[in-house]
Structure 1
Amino acid sequence: MLQITLWQRIMIVLTIVVGLSLALPNLFYPRVEAHNDAVAAMELDGASPTLIDQAARWPSVLPSGLVNLGLDLRGGAHLLAELPLEDVYQKRMVGIWPSVFDALRDNRDQIGNFRRLGIEDGELRIRIAEPANVPQALEIVESVATPVASLSALNATDIQVRAENDVIIVSLTDEEKAATDERTMLQSLEIIRRRIDEVGTREPTIQRQGANRILIQVPGLGSAQELKDLIGTTAQLSFHPVIGRSADANVRAGVGNVLFPSIDEEGIFYILEENPVVTGEDLVDSQPSFDQNGGPAVSFRFNSAGGAKFGRYTAENVGQLFAIVLDEEVISAPRINEAIPGGSGIITGNFSLEESTQLAVLLRAGALPVEPEFVEERTVGPELGADSIEAGRIACIVAFIAVLVFMFLSYGTFGVFANIALIINVGLIFGLLSLIGATLTLPGIAGIVLTIGMAVDANVLVFERIREELKTSKGPARAIELGYEKALSAIIDANITTFITAVILFVMGSGPVRGFAITLGLGILTSVFTAIYVTRLFVVIWFEHRRPKTIEV
Structure 2
Amino acid sequence: MKGGFRLYATIGLLVIALFYLIYPTTKNERPLNLGLDLQGGMQVTLEVGLEALVRDLATDRDEQFDKVLKAAGANARTSDVDVIATFVQEFEKRDANVRLSRYFRNTDEGITRKSTNAEIQTYLNAQADKAMDAAIKIVRDRVDRFGVAEPSIVKQGTRRISVELPGVANADRVRKLLRGTAQLQFHLMAEQNEVAASLEKIVAFYRDGGKNTPADTSKAAKADTTKKETPKADNSKNPLLAIFTPVGGTAFGVAARKDTAKVAEMFRRPEVRAMMPAGVVPMWAVQPSGEPGKEVYNYLAVRSKVELKGDYITNADTQFDQFTNAPEVSLTMDSEGAGIWSRLTGANVGKQVAITMDNVVYSYPVINEKIPGGRTSINGMGNVEEAKDLVTVLQSGSLPAPVTIVQERTVGPSLGAASIEAGKWSLI
Q: TM bucket by the smaller chain?
A: 0.3 to 0.5
TM-score (norm 2): 0.37
- Which has a greater percent of helix? 1
Q: Greater relative contact order: 1 or 2 (C-alpha under 8 angstroms, separation 6 or more)?
A: 2
TM-score normalized by the length of structure 1: 0.29
